[in-house]
Amino acid sequence: MRSILGGLSLLFALFLALPGDAQAQSLAPEAVVRSFNETLIDVMKNGPKLGFKGRVDKLRPSVGATYDMASMTKSTLGTAASKLTPEEAAKLADTYSAFSVATYAAQFDEWDGERFEVGEPRAAAAGSTIVPSWIVPKAGDATQIDYVMRQDQGQWKVIDVLFDGTVSQVAVRRSEFVSIFRARGFTGLIETIEKQTVALEKK
């Protein structure tokens, strides 16, 4: 696994507007997180054998079933999202989805005894739920990653991720994306994300 704890900031690209996994639709929020973690462990254990493309193919449906990327992508642009046409919003979600899957594939490329732990969910603002989670290395301190989740058509999905329990992925990306959007427009934002995606495959 390539510097998983050191590269966790990259993982806050996390996450995709792809078709959901039917098995996840009836799961409780903590069960959705556990299912996703199981996929990550499997990908890590088979990472070298799968290669980058194989990891992407294996992760894509699981990430899509776990994250509400239509909501998250809109949140990353804040009020600027209202300036997008429906076609542009869909394009941004697709582009960001590809980047998110590539980020997971690049970071979770091998296994070195790591495990995941999931705690009891707790109620949060606006009807959402927070599921606490930890990445526990073979040696050293665990890293906390909490998932903010909300029901969408009966299925619990992630709408934000909190690093160390406080740092919002959506807020971090909003700062980055809004700046690019204002300086280079929609096309410039798409080009930037696509270049980052290609760079991940070459690492």
For residue 19, name the pLDDT band (cuts at 50, 70, 90): very low
* Mean confidence (pLDDT) of the chain: 88
The model's pTM is 0.83
Query: Is 52 inside any structural domain?
Result: yes
Query: Is 119 inside any structural domain?
Result: yes
Please give the tally of structural domains in the chain. 1
Tell me the per-residue pLDDT of 118-157, one tens digit each, with 9 for 90 and over.
999 999 998 999 999 999 999 999 999 999 999 988 899 9
Tell me the per-residue pLDDT of 147-172, one tens digit each, with 9 for 90 and over.
999 998 889 999 999 999 899 999 99
Query: Is 1 inside any structural domain?
Result: no
Closest by CA to 15, choosing from 79, 74, 81, is 74
| Mean pLDDT within 184-201 | 95
Residue 22 clears pLDDT 70, i.e. is over it: no
* Partners of 168 in beta bridges: 162
Query: Is 2 inside any structural domain?
Result: no
* Domain range for 193: 8-173+184-202
Query: Is 45 inside any structural domain?
Result: yes
| Mean pLDDT within 42-58 | 97
CATH code of residue 13: 3.10.450.710
| pLDDT recorded at residue 188 | 97
Residue 2 clears pLDDT 80, i.e. is over it: no
Query: Is 121 inside any structural domain?
Result: yes
Tell me the per-residue pLDDT of 75-88, one tens digit each, with 9 for 90 and over.
999 899 999 999 99
| 195-203, Cβ contacts within 8 angstroms, sequence gap of 24 or more | 196/99, 197/95, 197/98, 197/99, 197/102, 200/99, 200/102, 200/103, 200/105, 200/106, 201/52, 201/102, 201/106, 203/2, 203/106
| pLDDT recorded at residue 152 | 84
